[in-house]
Structure 1
Amino acid sequence: MSDTVASSTSAVVAAAPRPAPGPAAFTARIAAGLAGVLIAVLVSGFNEHVTDIDLPDLRGALGISHDDGTWLTALYEAFQVSAMAFAPWCAVTFSLRRFTIAMIGTFGVLAAVAPYVSGLPALYVLRAVQGFAGGALSPMLMTVALRYLPPNVKVYGLGAYALTATCGPNLSTPIAALSFEYFGWRAVFWEAVPLSILSACLVAYGMPQDPLRLERFRQFNWRGLLLGMPAICMIVIGLMQGDRLDWFRSPLICHLFVGGIFLFGLFLLNEWFHPLPFFRIQMLRSPDLTFALIAVALVLIIAAANIELASGYLAEIQGYRPLQTAPLALSLALPQLLSLPLVSALCNIRRVDCRWVLGIGALLMAASAYGSSFITSDWYRWSFLPFQIMQIFGQPMTVVPILMIATMKLAPTDGPFVSGMFNMVKGFASVMAVGLISYLETWREHSHSNILLDRVGADRFVLAPVGDHYASLIQFAGVVREQAAILTIADINLVMTGIAGLLFLLLFVLPTRVYPPVAARVSPGERR
């Protein structure tokens, strides 16, 4: 009898699954791997924004019309956002190290060959694949930070991730200016190559090698992939092309939104019931995660508007080139290399409630947007500086606490699911910002133009012809266009003020207090 029991026990032990290996100890080698992933994510963001900023010059060099050129950006964004949703599953299956190196290599190779691609369809395909590779890198940074960083520095890792959302986009303007002005249009693509090589080497050297888990393909979520990827691409393309095609007056935009939203609803339903989903939708029952996803979308919309409105004003009203706008972008980007670690250190103190850090940051961003609403035609580059200083502290003070609220209560197995959801929302927020700003610009500029013309007509203003040309009419049209653009920028800044105020109010409704990981080392008596 005892032999039977012993044999049964040993059989059960043998059949039990082996526990997953614990995370490797944090060393300088892993720190180098983390730095490689950080560089890769920054390079992906640089390439996205640099090509967008220099797109008018690229169109001239490649002989592409304006409408055709917009599809280069739309396809890149669509596949970038879709990759953010599915990359964490691939990283677990093929191993984080292998998948990251493969995506960096794909991204760098496509950047190297892009100037030599002939034919617009081939260039569209190249930008779509490159967008997918670049989007797949962003979730890797959050995954690495959550998995390998020890508790006392995990918040600093989240600060490094925040760097890609706040500092990275602002660095794109000087890179775009230097690439085109000094090295030619090919450098707009090639700027990604040397840093891609460096990041791949660091990842190959520093990241531990996990085993392949190809058995996951037995439960591969094919239905989720076939529903989710086209849904995300359709919605993103609709947002990117909506203003150009006059939104719902265009049958294409209507089909993209209706079809995309329908497929995305089916995708979410599939994720709820699938045994191995890309997203674990049940996690949205947590008010902290729900708040974090809403909050990061709001913050990134405000941050994108801050960049877009200031650079757009300087380019359209003052006639600045990217090289002349670059110092303003640098004044916002470079100080964040200091402010982000400082905010991370502040949030790493157990006595500090990160919700109030977030609240102060939201108020700073609201004050910045409200102050910028007083813009006039007399403003120049450094007129924006006082409000940019508020953004220097406001953006890190919002993003770092949001990341803490989203991740500090996670179980180890929840990391890939949250990384996928968080990064997809981050990608959607950037695209939503483009669509919202474009819509507001068109709507408010038309409204202000009509109001200004009505006022002029009510005052019985008469334009006198000069010679054979109505020079005064041309001058008058330019003045109306300029004033309408300035009033539009003021209106959009007021909208951003309202969004920041909404973020502040949500603090009183949704999130609960979270503590930094270092608090786990506090004794029970002190914790009470």
Structure 2
Amino acid sequence: MIGIVLAAIAAQLNDAVLNAALSDVAGNIGLSNDTATWLQTLFITGQVLGMCTSPSLGIGFGFRRFALFAVFMNCFPALLMTLGGQHGTAVLILRFLEGLGSGFTIPLILTIALRAVPPPIRLYALSVYAMTATLTPFLATSFAGLWIDVVQDWRFVFLQPLPWCAMAAACVWWGLPVDKGDSERLKQFDWLGLIFVATGWGSLTIVFEQGDRLDWFNSALIVILTAIALVSLPALFISERYARVPLMKFSLLANRNLLYPVITLLLFLVLSLTASQVPLNFLMVAQGYKPLQAHLVTLAVALPQLILLPLTAWVLDHEHVDARWINALGFLLILFACYGAAHVTPSWNRDQFFVWQLIQSVGFAFVVMPLLLIATNAIKPDEGPYGSALVNTPRAVAEGVGVWAIELIARLRGGLHRDRIIDLIGQNRLQLEQLGILPPGSPRTPDPALIAANTEVLRATAVLTTIDDYVILGSIAVVLLIA
């Protein structure tokens, strides 16, 4: 179990750290900004594919053998990316394979916890799985700042999983029992379902990730991928209904105790951006922070999870404690933190975010642990692989949905705020010129006053957009509380 957890940490860091250091890495590799966005898109696409197939392949090949292969997939493509850094196409292909390895790895924690961990301590094993959602992603900015600003070598962004994977491989080799696997399951592998997963979920994640950059349905690629997803996803649901050994058993969602955690976990992962991407975007735009300066904000969410998750598991382990009330309390705390952080002003720096980040941290633990408890109680031991696929696949899709939500708010609300501010400046230009804030006339060369005014416009836009982020994403907590 420890080996799988270490491999999952490596997989999560592969995902999040490159995203935090994307501009620096892309510049060193020689990728344009548009091409660099595909590094994250292809990773998530591979991750979705891996999460759907991991439980079935683990049973077919044997968990020990498959876990070692998943560890290999997390480190070998990363090593090759440092050697072939100037070959952009090769890096994109390797990034997809790295995402596939991540997708293979993370579901193994839940699958093995359901199959091998005794019920008396299973809840504590689930707290370890919960760390992949509430701890590791929030360490990304810290690692990005370390490699880019302290070590000052972009290659470490790709090399960082190597020690984690080495320890993971040793633990898996020593700790997991040798099993021959189920060759009959491999012979009956659901290849049709795999095709629909790749075309359906894969197309959907690309649409969410690249839609805003490509101007949505003004792009032929987005139109084609949307059409493919609209055809493939219903076909996936139908094919899995009649497959002899399905990849995803959607009939399990007829149980409300599983359906609610699956949907809520997806929405929670989007909501969790209020503790990561939202404050980081504000600090980097409004205050000019780099990852090394901003990382303490997300670290305030990550580190308490080491105590809060096992503590929440201990609380839930008491018979008289209702997981639903703990879950509701978690959403109330997140909602309160969003309300407090929505009072952001241009003078805020990272210190003003700490209190709200700590409250979010408590809320995250109180939300995730009850969801996992409710979900696993609804899954029978022999249904573990199917339940793992259903719980984990929305996790990867949620990452694309979160990107879409943040970019949509920035485009619609951010653009509106910027236009209104510029309109106000135009209406009051004469007064601003008299006060010396704007230069008179139309300077032919960049004027320091105009540069300063543009900086203030960007800062004001960032403040107003951040408020919108907290209000709109925080409303998800209200919806989930009512549900």
Establish whether TM, by shorter chain, passes 0.5. Answer: yes
Q: Assess if the C-alpha contact under 8 Å between 1:79 and 1:131 holds in 2.
A: yes
1:345 aligns with 2:322: no
Bigger mean CA deviation after superposition, 331-340 or 472-481: 472-481
Aligned-pair identity in percent equals 31
Q: What is residue 367 of structure 2 aligned with on the other side?
A: 398
Alignment of 1:83-482 (within 5 A): 83-117=50-84, 118-183=86-151, 184-459=153-428, 461=430, 464=433, 465=439, 469=445, 470-482=447-459
Q: Which whole-Å CA distance do the structure 2 matches of 1:207 and 1:75 have between them?
A: 31
Q: CA deviation at 1:181?
A: 2.7
Q: Which whole-Å CA distance do the structure 2 matches of 1:389 and 1:249 have between them?
A: 42
2:175 maps to amino acid: G
SS of structure 1 residue aligned to 2:344: coil
SS of structure 2 residue aligned to 1:351: coil
Query: What is the total number of aligned residue pairs between the two structures?
Result: 473
Q: Which whole-Å CA distance do the structure 2 matches of 1:498 and 1:309 have between them?
A: 15
Deviations 1:241-296 (A, max 9, x none): 11111122222112112212311111111011112111111111111111111110
SS of structure 2 residue aligned to 1:220: coil
Q: Which whole-Å CA distance do the structure 2 matches of 1:54 and 1:439 have between them?
A: 22
Q: What is residue 10 of structure 1 aligned with on the other side?
A: none
Q: Assess if the C-alpha contact under 8 Å between 2:10 and 2:74 holds in 1.
A: no
2:117 maps to amino acid: L
Q: CA deviation at 1:411?
A: 1.3
Q: What is residue 21 of structure 2 aligned with on the other side?
A: 54
Deviations 1:377-412 (A, max 9, x none): 110111001111111110010000001111113211
In our comparison, the structure showing a higher alpha carbon Rg is 1
Q: What is residue 63 of structure 1 aligned with on the other side?
A: 30
Q: What is residue 471 of structure 2 aligned with on the other side?
A: 494
Q: Assess if the C-alpha contact under 8 Å between 1:142 and 1:158 holds in 2.
A: yes
Q: Which whole-Å CA distance do the structure 1 matches of 2:146 and 2:422 have between them?
A: 41
Q: Assess if the C-alpha contact under 8 Å between 1:362 and 1:500 holds in 2.
A: yes
Q: Assess if the C-alpha contact under 8 Å between 1:305 and 1:437 holds in 2.
A: no
Q: Which whole-Å CA distance do the structure 2 matches of 1:468 and 1:97 have between them?
A: 68
Unpaired segments ≥5 residues, structure 1:
1-33, 507-528
1:122 maps to amino acid: A
Q: Assess if the C-alpha contact under 8 Å between 1:179 and 1:191 holds in 2.
A: no
Q: Which whole-Å CA distance do the structure 2 matches of 1:210 and 1:229 have between them?
A: 29
1:36 aligns with 2:36: no
Q: Which whole-Å CA distance do the structure 1 matches of 2:391 and 2:329 have between them?
A: 23
Q: Which whole-Å CA distance do the structure 2 matches of 1:62 and 1:427 have between them?
A: 26
Q: CA deviation at 1:366?
A: 0.8
Q: Which whole-Å CA distance do the structure 2 matches of 1:143 and 1:61 have between them?
A: 39
SS of structure 2 residue aligned to 1:504: helix
Deviations 1:101-139 (A, max 9, x none): 111012212222211114211111111111101111010
1:242 maps to amino acid: G
SS of structure 2 residue aligned to 1:177: helix
Bigger mean CA deviation after superposition, 388-397 or 468-477: 468-477
Q: Which whole-Å CA distance do the structure 2 matches of 1:166 and 1:153 have between them?
A: 20
Q: CA deviation at 1:209?
A: 1.9
1:54 maps to amino acid: A
Q: What is residue 509 of structure 1 aligned with on the other side?
A: none
Q: Assess if the C-alpha contact under 8 Å between 2:3 and 2:168 holds in 1.
A: yes
Bigger mean CA deviation after superposition, 55-64 or 111-120: 111-120
Q: What is residue 521 of structure 1 aligned with on the other side?
A: none
* C-alpha distance 474-180 of structure 1, shift in aligned 2 (>3 A): closer
Q: CA deviation at 1:80?
A: 0.9
2:82 maps to amino acid: P
Q: CA deviation at 1:460?
A: 5.8
- Report the TM-score when normalising by structure 2: 0.95
* C-alpha distance 211-468 of structure 1, shift in aligned 2 (>3 A): closer
1:330 maps to amino acid: L
* C-alpha distance 302-461 of structure 1, shift in aligned 2 (>3 A): farther
Q: Which whole-Å CA distance do the structure 2 matches of 1:430 and 1:369 have between them?
A: 20
Q: What is residue 72 of structure 1 aligned with on the other side?
A: 39
Q: CA deviation at 1:498?
A: 0.8
Q: Which whole-Å CA distance do the structure 1 matches of 2:291 and 2:430 have between them?
A: 38
Q: Assess if the C-alpha contact under 8 Å between 2:258 and 2:374 holds in 1.
A: yes
Q: Which whole-Å CA distance do the structure 2 matches of 1:172 and 1:476 have between them?
A: 33
Q: Assess if the C-alpha contact under 8 Å between 2:48 and 2:103 holds in 1.
A: yes
2:24 maps to amino acid: D
Aligned Cα RMSD in Å?
A: 1.5
Q: CA deviation at 1:96?
A: 1.0
Deviations 1:164-220 (A, max 9, x none): 100111111111111223331111100111110100110111112222211123322
Q: What is residue 29 of structure 1 aligned with on the other side?
A: none
Q: Assess if the C-alpha contact under 8 Å between 1:87 and 1:420 holds in 2.
A: yes
Q: Which whole-Å CA distance do the structure 2 matches of 1:376 and 1:260 have between them?
A: 41
Q: Assess if the C-alpha contact under 8 Å between 1:463 and 1:473 holds in 2.
A: no
Q: CA deviation at 1:459?
A: 4.5
SS of structure 2 residue aligned to 1:235: helix
2:373 maps to amino acid: M
Deviations 1:330-353 (A, max 9, x none): 221111100111111011111000
Q: Which whole-Å CA distance do the structure 1 matches of 2:424 and 2:405 have between them?
A: 28
Bigger mean CA deviation after superposition, 361-370 or 464-473: 464-473
Deviations 1:433-488 (A, max 9, x none): 11111111111111111222333444565554367644433332322222112101
Q: Assess if the C-alpha contact under 8 Å between 1:111 and 1:190 holds in 2.
A: yes
Q: CA deviation at 1:314?
A: 1.1
Q: Assess if the C-alpha contact under 8 Å between 1:304 and 1:430 holds in 2.
A: no
Q: What is residue 484 of structure 1 aligned with on the other side?
A: 461
